[in-house]
Amino acid sequence: MEAVGSWQDKLKDRIPEELGREIDIFETQMKLRRRGEVDERLFAETRLRRGVYGQRYDNGHRHDGTQNRELAYRDHPTKGPETVWDAPGMLRIKIPYGKLTADQTDVLAELSEDYADHISHVTTRQDIQLHFVHIDDTPDIQRRLAAVGITTREACGNSVRNITACHLSGVCKTEEFDVTPYAEALKEFLLGHPDVQDFGRKMKPAFSGCAHEACGLVNMHDVGYIAKTREVDGQVQRGFEFYVGGGLGAIPHDAKVLTEFVTEEELLPLTQAVCRVFARLGEKENRGRARIKFLVAKLGIEEFKKLVFEEREQLPHDPRWTAYIDELPDYDEKPLRPPVPLQVNGEHTPEFKAWYETNVRAQRQEGYAVATIKLPLGDATGDQMRAIADIAREFVGDAIRLTVEQNIVLRWVSEADLPALFEALAAVDLAAPGAETIADLTSCPGTDTCKLGIAASRGLVAELTNHVGHLNGGTDPALKGLRIKASGCFNSCGQHHVSDLGFYGISRKKGGRLVPHFQVVLGGKWMENGGSFGLPTLAIPSKNIPEVVKRVTDRFLQERNENETFHEFIDRWGKVEVKAFLQDLTEVPAFEEDPSFYSDWGDPRVFTMEDYGEGECAGEIVPLVEFGLQSSEREVFEAQLYLDAGDMDRAKAMAYKAMLTAAQALVKTEYLDVTDDPDHIVTEFRTRFHETKRFHDKFAGAKFANYLFQTHESGGNGGRPEQARDQVQEAQLFIEAAYKVYERIGTQGAPA
Amino acid sequence: MSAEGLGPLESAEVSIKLFVDDHAVVRPHELIAVFHRWISEGLLEDELTIDVANYEHVPQGPGIALICDKSHYYFDVRHNRWGLRYRGRREARATGKDAVTDALTRALKAAALLENDPALEGRYTFRTDQVELVIYDRLRAPSEEATLEAIRVDVEAAIAELYGEAPRSLGLVSVPKEPFAVAIENASSPSLGELLGRLAPAG
């Protein structure tokens, strides 16, 4: 066997330079944090923006049902406030609009086996999550992902999260047009964009191909786009109805129309303007009110609109706004096999027929179908992911997508291949019927792994699956399309507000003991992009929730009017009646009488809230300038490494870059549009901080600013090699001076 | 973390699985409470036990997992075979032959805990004539015959030391894309107690 090196060496030719550089930077930041040279709060937001999340019990404590026990990890610096370095965490992997290739699917399989618990978990926002991952492994994981074109950048933290879109985009019979290339363009444009680095909270965008189906869920997103066309001078013009300010959480908000038609040309700049207004005016102190929905509600949509369009007028032109339009005609997902209709005959097995009925949807392209792989609780093993990759290669090529219902679809299946595809999936236990029916339940991780989880949503959904799973699309068609969704807490990651029967975890006390409960939310509308939110009714002990489902669905079948939807039925039934109907289920027996009520589904420990932690969903509020200054510190650290290695030219170049980064960070506190051009940075810095003497040191005067000016005038790399050491030290002093100025800004308020 | 110039058994990710004798007795759900109790009573020596993860809903999956600081224990059903899997995670506890012995010892101890757990009423017993060794480290241990040859001597020595004789066969059972896996066939099937007795320090 050949001696192995590292993933960094092995993959160096396959990782795009920029992605590789970002990962190297993250690894350096980890080293600095381990040495205690980066503040824990800053490091937490840094890792979150790389998708590296905390997980339950990472504060070093766990309640075992009788007592709170300390988890005696080794003593290292923390990886964030109250977050132990060695505690296992979660890695969120952004999969833009859920699109995966076969090779990417293979790599996800490998990563789940090599670094996690053998499971790839599909989230409700088309991400993949790996759990029980150690932070030290994350740079290599990111490298292996980067080698197949996946980045975890901005998968968490106060940034633009994964851009989701209908999994049927491009093949759907009801869409206006394929939104995929637009989602891709927006993703490329916003990733790492300076205007999305200073939010008080995250921003989630979504695209939908039509208004009436569910899959894009635009109504519950921070920013959303529904495909639309109009005729101008006899020409069909593509664009989007642009929504803003939707969201779930404790108090769901319907998205508002920002404009009824944004053209292809204006899609990116108008979104950029929204981001700027959100960054400038959005709440920064109170995380609970920092999403854009609160800003829209506070200002009113008309004022928000006015500000956005004013901002749009101020934006410096960016050629990327329209560059993607030229590439639109090139975007095309091609089928692997020719279209051949399915021969429907008596030879198909009952299992195939059941699967075909619920898991197969005809594409608008004749002879092709989309097949849905229903994943229990969104989980697939490494072996299954690998099998999906191989099956995709055989039948559809790279046409794989994740769905917001935690499933995986294979698109462009030639219909004649469906029986063979079914057999291939069945061989790896992936041919369960009932996709997108009442038997296809959704859950966020809940108390299984989430620090914010209150109740065991996954445990509940596993139990409910035992109760409704046999319906497989419903013995009664009225039940077939109902959705059941559960969240571990009010934050609504399970999307319970837009399901027919929704549940979110809470707790109640009985006889001095805590009892896990779920709030019952009925009658939300899944269709029409998550068209309306359900009716919160009452809190029911977890152990009685299966009975809630049985009673409510039975009642619906018995008393619904002809063609009445569940949403309409609940509306007619009314909150008062529903509460009376379920009231007896709120009763909790005494612990001595039935202790099972005092434990959660799938968790035998006596229920407690002592494991409830500080969530990281909200990220850390870190001003943009601090990121810049942190980068400059990391760069000067790297300059030192070059110096130690005797590479004087690179040491000087990196020291110069560190000074520029620090100067740019300060300039950005008042002028966000400063570019990366060194001349531009130095000019702006000179005008704003040197000539105003704000960068001057009480004793040293302009000395530190002059370090930058002299180095800049020499082209950044001037002087003899032996001057490198001086230059690195000067950069260090410049950065320290920059920090001091920033501290003064913080105490005196931002300069005019 | 990088792995400069290291061989397969220098990896932290060495795993040993012991298979149950009788699949019919397995009720995975009951192991959730068992593993939680192991955590609260600290029954796994030399492990910082953290959490239990339930994947019984996933066919041929990791089953019930006991997550520790430097390792995972699974009662898993990969390839439709239930068994107790010890799996090292980060920071190799030993290298070469000792890595095999260490993983095997930890798997044997955990399996013995299951065999003797009062809640399971003696239903779970394990065979020791078949053992699966997996290295979840595609960098150091690609799934190929060369990896098997690179570890053969160490594995044979570890087995010989514990069983008193070399294994009857070692065979690569993973395809190239899978984690490297070896089926170890032993000539005898001593009880867990017997094997653990041989591991006990002399004197």
* pLDDT higher than 50, residue A255: yes
pLDDT for A194: 93
pLDDT grade for A697, boundaries at 50, 70 and 90: confident
* For residues A409-434, average pLDDT: 97
* For residues A130-154, average pLDDT: 97
CA distance B195 to chain A (A): 28
Full DSSP string of A622-649:
--HHHHHHHHHHHHHHHHHHHHHTT-HH
Instruction: For residue A502, give Cα distances in angstroms to A190, A218, A457, B6, B168.
Output: 33, 19, 11, 51, 57
* pLDDT higher than 90, residue A249: no
Task: Say which of A6, A602, A605 has its CB closest to residue B54.
Answer: A602
pLDDT grade for B75, boundaries at 50, 70 and 90: very high
pLDDT grade for A751, boundaries at 50, 70 and 90: very low
Query: What domains can be seen in chain A, in order of their start residue?
Result: 7-146 (3.30.70), 172-330 (3.30.413.10), 350-426 (3.30.70.3340), 442-606 (3.30.413.10), 624-748 (1.20.120.330)
pLDDT for B128: 97
| Structure tokens, A336 | 């692997």
* pLDDT higher than 50, residue A718: yes
CA distance B36 to chain A (A): 8
How many Cα atoms sit within 13 Å of A245 on the Cβ side? 22
pLDDT grade for A620, boundaries at 50, 70 and 90: low
C-alpha A231/C-alpha A238 separation (Å) is: 9
Q: Are A419 and A425 in contact (CB under 8 A)?
A: no
B119 touches chain A (CB under 8 A): no
pLDDT grade for A746, boundaries at 50, 70 and 90: low
CA distance B125 to chain A (A): 24
pLDDT grade for A623, boundaries at 50, 70 and 90: confident
Q: Nearest-CA residue of chain A relative to B38? A: A64
Q: Nearest-CA residue of chain B relative to A72? A: B48
pLDDT tens, residue by residue, A559-568: 999 999 999 9
pLDDT tens, residue by residue, A19-52: 999 999 999 999 999 999 999 999 998 999 999 9
Q: What is the CA radius of gyration of chain A?
A: 27
pLDDT tens, residue by residue, A668-681: 888 888 899 999 99
B147 touches chain A (CB under 8 A): yes
ipTM of the complex: 0.96
* pLDDT higher than 50, residue B3: no
pLDDT for A630: 83
pLDDT for A251: 78
Question: Is A140 in Cβ contact with B178 (below 8 Å)?
Answer: no
pLDDT for A407: 98
* For residues B83-97, average pLDDT: 93
CA distance B202 to chain A (A): 31
* pLDDT higher than 70, residue A475: no
pLDDT grade for A75, boundaries at 50, 70 and 90: confident
DSSP helix/strand/coil, A258: strand
pLDDT grade for A719, boundaries at 50, 70 and 90: low
> Minimum mean pLDDT among A476-490, A639-653, B180-194: which range?
A639-653
pLDDT tens, residue by residue, A568-594: 999 999 888 998 999 999 999 999 999
Question: Is A117 in Cβ contact with B5 (below 8 Å)?
Answer: no
Is residue B176 packed enough to be buried (19+ CB in 10 Å), middle (13-18) or exposed (0-12)?
exposed
Q: What is the CA radius of gyration of chain B?
A: 16
Q: What share of chain A is helix, strand, coil (3-state, %, to 5)?
A: 45, 15, 40
pLDDT for A615: 67
Percent of all residues in chain A with a pLDDT value above 70, rounded to a whole number? 96
* pLDDT higher than 50, residue A473: no
pLDDT for A644: 78
Amino acid in the structure at residue B144: E
* For residues A69-98, average pLDDT: 94
Domain assignments of chain B as residue spans, ordered by start: 8-190
pLDDT for A202: 95
Report the residue of B14, B143, B178, B180 to disrupt the A interface, i.e. the one with the largest count of A CBs within 10 Å: B178
- A-B CB pairs within 8 A amount to 130
C-alpha A492/C-alpha A247 separation (Å) is: 9
Mean pLDDT for chain A overall: 92
pLDDT tens, residue by residue, A497-513: 999 999 999 988 888 88
Full DSSP string of A284-317:
SS-GGG-SHHHHHHHH-HHHHHHHHHHHHHHSPP
* pLDDT higher than 80, residue A469: no
pLDDT for A749: 44
